[in-house]
Amino acid sequence: MESLHGLGTATDWVVMFVYFIGIMLFGSYFAKYNRSTNDFFFGGRRFAWWLISVSIVATGVGSHSFVKYAAKGFEHGISSTMTYMNDWFFMPLFLFGWLPIVVYTKIRSIPEYFQKRFSPSARFVATVFQLLYLLGYLGIGLLTLGKIFTPLLPVSFSIIGISIPVTLMGVIIAIAIITGVYTTFGGQTAVIFTDLIQGFILLFAGFLIFLMGINYVGGFESFWHLLPPDWRLPLADFNKPSDFNFIGIFWQDGVAGSVGFLFMNMGLLMRFMSAKSVDEGRKAAVFNVLFMLPLSAIVVGNAGWIGKALTQMIPSQLNPNVNPDEVFIAVTHIIASKGVFGFVIAALTATLLSTVDSLINAIAAVYMNDVHHPIKKFFNKKTGTAEHEAKQELRAARIASIMITGLGILATIPFSKYPTVYEAHGYFHSTLTPPLVTTIFLGVFWKKFTPAGVLATLLSGSSLMILGARYPALLITPFAHGTPLDPVHPYIYISALYNLIACAGIGVLVTLTYNLQKLVVERIKKLGSHSIIMTALIILIVISLLLIWFNIGSLAILFTVVILITISISLTSHYYIKYNPKVQLDGLTAWSIHRAKEIFKGSKINEREGEVIKANWKLKNDIEDVVNVSKEDMKRMEAEVGDLVYVSDARKYLGGLKSFHSKFGEPHDEPGIIYIIEEHRLTAQFKEGKILTAEKEM
């Protein structure tokens, strides 16, 4: 397998250097919009749908996408696009279930939802799984950065006579530092606006590569006939070969991967949470599925198709044995001139940064909300005034972003052992996604799902997954739909189906036996030694998990251990966890969205349609978080005192950057004037003389 080196010319590196400096300065500029951790992590919940939609493209079509889909496009053709067409069927569940719950409950992380819906112990376990998922995702992103940039670099650099070798880990560390700078100081607002630019650049560059490639091979007709017949098919074979088949890709990439990316990837969810309203988030999601994803499928895969056509030319323009992970760079280097190649490298840089910046920001959010805050609350530590607390929180968030960047570098080590990024990413999705995806789905759409069901799904379900990975021929083959077993990397893709069934089966079984568990626990409580029994069961759970993790025992023994874990979790959950369905279902399932809106507002919803007004702004000498408009404007907006209001700079091209949320206060008698406080002005960075718009939210 051929590996490439030294493809970048001096011109290309100048373009890259300018781009890196520009993106760092651009991202760091937005630090001034961070007045609190809400601004740092969620952009102040202010942005328009179109801005969110384009920034989602830059994140979704991130660092790994150009590498892995170009590789599969090279190896299998047009069927590399099939994953991007699988998002539509679960989108209604996201739009009308998970998205409004995430926004209206004001959760700052997925584990926080687990505490509200289930219990603190569920939050603790979910936090572990969530951090593993996000750190793994970050590790794959950084690994891909290294794999793409290494071919552009020489074998070594010579500085003042000293030869510095270029290594994969060295490249990863350098780019991780650059990415961490603007994410650490700019926050979510920086991420969104840098990805807005990067999204446009990568779409343009992707289509530019396609057009240049078609022109290079002699036109579209020549390109199409150079592709072997199998490379022109839209779907892969149903169950073969083992490294790329329809059924395996559907369950791993189309279901576990795509559903997991949308429902539990905090980097993506934080984009939707940055939208000014749920409706704006819905618009962004629908536009993304109907328009952006089909375009993105072409953008990320076409270099592979062009590469295959190049190998069929006489004489061949590309070595057929090229490393699949280097196909994108190799093809671009062949078909593009020196200046254009530099531009495409800059565009590639955009895709490399887009996923990583979101993940660093998202992991920091999970850390702050699910590790830092609980520890601080446990020690009852307060450091001063509310303003001082906010500054301390912001500082802690930035330090967390730096530490997470370092952990992400370490996470690249185990994934680097896989032959290609596609295989590493596929195995990652199949193993780390199913437990959390299953618990989120059951929690949102099944009111009967209990804390015992959650804990059993996460711990017992993941234990069954570990057994499946160790005994694939016995446990996964019955679900494999005839997919051949690769002894080196067994069932990388179709294992996602087994893992989903294992997790869902455990969760449903434990939930349906709720009354039986309750009866057993009530009888145990009547015994004088009930606390000793429960302590013994907790010890049994810990020992059993260690047996599973370290593979101590035969399959039959370990399967029995999983049963013991499930029973013990069910009983101890009933004994220790105080679960009140009336409280913990209130506004936290898809069947109580209206109630969630009332909780979000703090009062009854005002759903009367009103106008969006324009007004000049004036400062008032007050600190209460309310705005005051005239009686006439209140009437036009169909608004009442206490209703939520969104105030923004009237220039729509800003996409909501200069805006804030508040409540209506008592009206005045000055039509066309809106009174705001100094904090509103600082948050939105309003300028004197600029017209504002105000619209009632609810």
If pLDDT is split at 50, 70 and 90, which confidence band does 28 have?
low
3-state secondary structure 444-479: HHCCCCCHHHHHHHHHHHHHHHHHHHHCHHHHCHHH
The answer for residues whose C-beta is within 8 angstroms of residue 202's C-beta and 6 or more apart is 57, 58, 61, 299, 347, 348, 350, 351, 354
Judged against a pLDDT cut of 90, whether residue 564 lies above it is answered with yes
Q: Which residues pair with 673 in a beta bridge?
A: 616
pLDDT exceeds 90 at position 555: yes
Helix, strand, coil tally for the chain in percent (to 5): 70, 5, 25
pTM score, whole prediction: 0.83
Q: Please say if the pLDDT value at position 42 is more than 50.
A: no
- pLDDT score recorded for residue 240: 85
Residue type, 42: F
At residue 312 the predicted structure's pLDDT band, cuts being 50, 70 and 90, is: very high
Segment 32-51 shows an average pLDDT of: 60
- pLDDT for 545 beyond 90: yes
In this prediction, residue 43 carries a pLDDT of 44
CA distance readout (Å), 263 to 127, 194, 502, 600: 15, 23, 19, 21
Rounded Cα distance, 601 and 645, in Å: 11
Q: What is the pLDDT of residue 323?
A: 83
Cβ neighbours of 10 (radius 10 Å): 9
| Rounded average pLDDT over 313-342 | 84
Higher-confidence residue: 87 or 307? 307
- Residue 57: pLDDT over 50: yes
**Residue 307 or residue 657, greater confidence:** 307
* pLDDT score, position 65: 78
For range 90-109, the mean pLDDT = 87
- Residue 486's φ and ψ, nearest 5 degrees, are -90, 115
Q: What angle do CA 138, 141, 142 make, to 5 degrees?
A: 90
Tell me the per-residue pLDDT of 462-504, one tens digit each, with 9 for 90 and over.
999 999 999 999 999 999 998 988 888 888 888 999 999 999 9
Over the chain, what is the mean pLDDT? 82
Q: Which of 132-141, 174-183, 369-378, 585-594 has the lowest mean pLDDT?
A: 174-183
- The larger pLDDT score, comparing residue 200 to residue 352, is at 200
Rounded to whole angstroms, how far apart are CA atoms 256 and 260?
6
Average pLDDT of the residues in 22-47: 57
Looking at residue 231, what DSSP letter applies? G
Structure confidence at residue 40 (pLDDT): 45
CB atoms within 10 A of CB 414: 13
pLDDT of residue 409: 80
Return the pLDDT at 41.
Answer: 45
The pLDDT value recorded for residue 394 is 66
| Spatial distance between the Cα atoms of 662 and 626, rounded to a whole number of angstroms | 6
**Residue 355: what pLDDT?**
65
Residue 440: its H or E element: helix 434-445
Whether residue 648 contacts residue 659, with contact meaning beta carbons closer than 8 Å, is answered with yes
Q: Are 516 and 569 in contact (CB under 8 A)?
A: no
The predicted model gives 437-447 an average pLDDT of: 93
Specify the range with the lowest mean pLDDT, choosing from 24-28, 311-315, 530-534.
Answer: 24-28
Q: What is the pLDDT of residue 385?
A: 66
Higher pLDDT, 698 or 532: 532
pLDDT mean over 192-200: 68
pLDDT above 80 (res 23): no
pLDDT at 697: 87
563 pLDDT exceeds 80? yes
| Sequence-separated (6 or more) residues with CB below 8 Å from residue 222 | 309
Nearest-angstrom CA–CA distance, 325 and 3 = 9
Cis peptide before 100 (omega within 30 of 0): no
Q: Is residue 81 predicted with pLDDT exceeding 80? A: yes
For residue 561, is pLDDT > 70?
A: yes
CA distances (Å), origin 547, targets 6, 55, 126, 473: 49, 44, 21, 21
- Residue 393 pLDDT > 60: yes
What is the distance between the alpha carbons of residues 394 and 337, in angstroms, rounded to a whole number? Answer: 45
Burial track 255-266 (b if 16+ CB lie within 10 A, e otherwise): bbbbbbbbbbbb
Asked whether residue 416 carries a pLDDT value surpassing 60, the answer given is yes
Nearest CA to 88 among 264, 233, 254?
Answer: 254
Which has the minimum average pLDDT: 174-188, 427-441, 464-478, 623-637?
174-188
Tokens 């559903």, residue located: 259
To which residue do tokens 């397998």 refer?
1
Alpha carbon distance 174, 681 (integer Å): 38
| Residue 644 bridge partners (DSSP) | 663
- Higher local confidence (pLDDT), 131 or 337: 131
The answer for residues whose C-beta is within 8 angstroms of residue 519's C-beta and 6 or more apart is: none
pLDDT for 217: 92
pLDDT at 267 over 90: no
- Domains contained in the chain, CATH given: 10-422 (1.20.1730.10), 441-584 (no CATH), 608-696 (2.40.40.20)
CA-to-CA separations, 343 to 21, 41, 364, 474, 523, in angstroms, rounded: 15, 31, 32, 51, 72
Encode 636-664: b = buried (16+ Cβ within 10 Å), e = exposed: bbebeeebbbbbbbeeeeebbbbbbbbbb
> Using CA atoms, how far apart are residues 405 and 395, in angstroms rounded to an integer?
16
From CA 262, how far away is CA 282, in angstroms rounded? Answer: 13
